[in-house]
A = this chain, B = another copy of it.
Amino acid sequence: MKKIPVGILGATGMVGQNYIALLAGHPWFKVNYVAASPRSAGKRYGELTAGRWLLAKACDPSVSGLLVEDANDLSRAAAAAARGDLAFVFSALEMGKAEILALEDSYAAAGIPVVSNASANRWTDDVPMLIAEVNPSHTDIIPSQQAARGWKKGFIVVKPNCSIQSYMTPVWALLEAGYDVKRMVVTTMQAVSGAGYPGVASLDIVDNVVPYIGGEEEKSELEPLKILGSVENGRIRKADAPLISAHCNRVSVINGHTAAVSLEFGAKKAGIEEVKRIWSEFSALPQQLKLPMAPEQPIIVRDEANRPQPNKDRDADKGMAVSVGRLRACPVFDLRFVGLSHNTVRGAAGGGILNAELLKAKGYLG
């Protein structure tokens, strides 16, 4: 099988670098087009990132040699697409919301699908916000999206914020098993890589906790409702529950967001053993389709008293599995647990790649 040529918008930033690292050796996709700000354009990707490559894994040599394009210059992307050198783009753009909205739109309008990591389009109501194991059917809205905008081949899908990944799949598994989750109090302890680079100043995090991340609590409370929503008349109608209170904190961890969760069921309550069974056995469309980036087991239940922990569990199953532990009764609600996921893999580039694999498997990427 010839690999599908893909592009990265915002290729030099931290999320862009993660896309390139994770796509090295990907069985379906090959990074063929890298775009960044105008001042980066025209340089070799490898030269541009030498001395500011942020990852332990070295840059894929086949990408190092690519010339960086200006992400704003759509004509270059359109020409590449016309030549068959660019099938779709991952958007890791770091700009103002209005600029991202305009730019992602223009790529889609030019017939280049956009699988976005940016938050700009998350609340566009005909843009699906996908966690491949949770709401894969939301891709059904793509034809309506295209029709409404007069797009033929292009479209936009987004992924949600990294902060919700550690509890969203576990909660979905319970909902799918027939247990309503009415209310949740969630306290996150988030890694510094979630803020990009340079991101969090070391003076703010060595020997410290910052109990605030701008905009993060709102995203953590509201995005789950769209993900759990239903497709109605070409729009996603957001769900009413669960009601979530999120407390978001930054801690001195490089990678891996941890969440301490108390949750309240509706009338039908699951016991601890039942929840463990549901989570251990949970499997979804990405697993059935054997998508390359899909974890074999989306939720890994840890039985040790002191797990999951970022430095031991974040890399579970390529960094794509959510690890849960400390499942126990809650004196205030019904149950409580700790969830953990890798924020730059599951919560960013890896989640985006899995979304693209899902779209490919469903035939949306040609």
Q: How far is the CB of A167 from chain B (nearest CB, A)?
A: 13
In the bound complex, residues from chain B placing their C-beta under 8 Å from that of A201 are 197-202
Q: How far is the CB of A343 from chain B (nearest CB, A)?
A: 12
Closest partner residue, chain B, to A314 (CB atom): B56
Residues of B within 8 A of A244 (CB): 331-332
Say if the beta carbon of A305 comes within 8 Å of chain B.
yes
User: Which of A18-26, A172-180, A209-217, A290-298 binds B?
Assistant: A209-217
Q: Kindly report how many copies of this chain are found in the complex they form together.
A: 4
Report, as a range, how many residues of chain A touch the other chain: 35 or more
Contact of A245 among B202, B206, B304, B336 (CB under 8 A): B336
Which among A200, A304, A331 has the highest number of chain B CB atoms within 10 Å?
A331
Q: Measured between alpha carbons, how far is A310 from B305 in the docked complex, in Å?
A: 26
Question: Residues of B contacting A260 with CB < 8 Å?
Answer: 187, 211, 247, 249
Decide: A245 and B262 in contact? CB cutoff 8 A: yes
One of B54, B55, B209 near A251 (C-beta < 8 A): B209
| Residue A205 is within 8 A (CB to CB) of chain B in the complex | yes
- Whether, in the assembled complex, A98 has its beta carbon less than 8 Å from a beta carbon of chain B, the answer is no
Tell me how far the C-beta of A257 lies from the nearest C-beta in chain B, rounded to whole angstroms: 10
Tell yes or no: A1 within 8 A of B by CB: no
Query: Which of B189, B210, B252, B308 is in CB contact (< 8 Å) with A207?
Result: B252
A288 within 8 A of partner (CB): no
Shortest Cβ distance from A317 into chain B, in angstroms?
11
In the complex, the answer to whether B262 meets A312 with C-beta atoms within 8 Å is no
**Contact flags (1/0) for A175-194 with B, using CB distance below 8 Å?**
00000000111010100110
Write 24 A-B pairs (CB below 8 A) sorted by A numbering: A50-B304, A51-B304, A56-B311, A183-B332, A185-B332, A187-B260, A192-B203, A193-B203, A197-B201, A197-B203, A198-B201, A198-B203, A201-B201, A202-B204, A204-B309, A205-B206, A207-B311, A208-B312, A209-B251, A211-B309, A211-B326, A243-B332, A244-B331, A244-B332
Interface residues of A (CB under 8 A from B): 50-51, 53-56, 183-185, 187, 189, 192-193, 197-212, 214, 221, 243-245, 247, 249, 251-254, 258, 260, 262, 303-315, 325-326, 330-333, 336, 338
